[in-house]
Amino acid sequence: MSTKKVSKLLVANRGEIAIRILRAASELKIRTVAVYTFEDRYSLHRYKADEAYQIGEDHDPLKPYLDIEEIIAVAKRNGAEAIHPGYGFLSENVKLARRCREEGLVFVGPQPEVMEKLGDKVEAKKIAIAAKVPIIEDSQKKLTTVDIALSEAARISYPIMVKAAAGGGGRGMRVVRNDKELEKAYQEAKSEAANAFGDDTIFLEKYIENPKHIEVQIMGDNYGNLVHLFERDCSVQRRFQKVVEVAPCSTIAQSTKDKLYEYALAITKHVDYNNVGTVEFLVDKEENIYFIEVNPRVQVEHTITEEVTGIDIVRSQILIAQGFKLSDPQIFIKSQEDVKCNGHAIQCRITTEDPVNSFKPDYGTIIAYRSASGFGIRLDAGNCYAGVTISPFFDSLLVKVSAWGRTLKGASERLDRALSEFRIRGVKTNI
């Protein structure tokens, strides 16, 4: 496969991740195109791009970000040669990847055939079994009715997890402990999955009590070269949304980590994985490992892996999509030995949520905003400035704060200091 130089890139996303991609493209001297809905007309990602275009009607704040045909039309109309989907929205939508190929556009992500195999959580488990990776017991039938779901739950035994087959980020997930809870969660999960991913397919999975949630970052080019970028501990969650992430994990044995790397590479090699992705596992108290899923996209928490490895994951995504090898000077990873872990990093997600009201999302206008800074502190922000209106239509993430230190204690102290420096007035936050 030869390289295909991209001179203009459309970012099919919004907020923090859109800005992250726009910055990476700018460093590569690639012109950028942003899309935004009317509700997002004052969003910073619109102004960070070289060009920006509204999608959808004025009364529709969210669904245009899921409109594949309109996004492709904007790209072609304005000379963009590639589309980066970020995370969420269309990032795991195989139809977008296929339509990009059909229209001669570069999709910044895995090949559609890879996404089809691994993007669907049910199909991914079949790949894991074939790769001899341990999995959690789950439903074996399509859950087209609640009666089928109840029958499968009886076979697996409670407690169980209801999960969306498409997408991630905690959308469409519910823990249920009896038939009555399942009957309620069945429709709720399907509806949430349909709204978030355009696919209401759900499945059931045995719920492991109090596990560690460990994910392994992988990166592969289009020529069969594949490496891991170590692991992240994402066990601190609220409502299945990750809140605090740590890299590397400091609470499991090195032998367990080695198994995690082995399993992650086995699954992704099985499907000739290309571009970046994350293989997620649960690790129980005895350090037994269970495969959960593969996220064929960049993750919210990719920042801490970048901090401890020095590898720019988003920049690498764009380069791999253009056909560069991992070993090329632009990426410069000749083998697994070239990937080193240096120090420790922690990421916190600052959200507009009210801690004294069950972390209910809060909305309104920010009247004052002062952020942290200093050695070892990285901020990845979306719309954070005095005067901005926080909308109820989008995720409550305001800014990601990542702290690096030579030791975990040092990173923790630095993060604690940074969080104390923030001053945000007008909306409640989880700080």
Catalytic residues: 242
Phi, psi of 242 (to 5 degrees): -65, 140
Instruction: Tell me 391's DSSP state.
Output: P
Three-state DSSP class for residue 279: strand
Phi, psi of 400 (to 5 degrees): -100, 130
CB 160 within 8 A of CB 174: no
- Residue 19: both structure tokens together: 């800005």
Cα separation of 217 and 265, whole Å? 10
CA distances from 112 to 116, 135, 245, 395 (A): 6, 24, 29, 27
- Residue 253: both structure tokens together: 């044995």
Q: Which residues of 387-403 are buried (b: 16+ CB within 10 A; e: fewer)?
A: ebebbeebbbbbbbbbb
Cα separation of 79 and 71, whole Å? 12
Residue found by looking up tokens 């009715």 in the block: 145
CB 25 within 8 A of CB 45: no
CA distances from 56 to 13, 43, 67, 69 (A): 14, 16, 9, 11
Element housing 190 (H / E): helix 179-197
CA distances from 167 to 51, 89, 374 (A): 28, 8, 35
Cα separation of 53 and 327, whole Å? 36
CB 248 within 8 A of CB 258: no
Strand ranges in 187-306 using DSSP code E only, listed in sequence order: 202-206, 212-220, 226-238, 241-247, 275-283, 289-295
Which residues make Cβ contacts (< 8 Å) with residue 59, sequence separation at least 6? 38
DSSP string, 94-161: HHHHHHHHHTTPEESSS-HHHHHHHTSHHHHHHHHHHTT--B--B--S---SHHHHHHHHHHH-SSEE
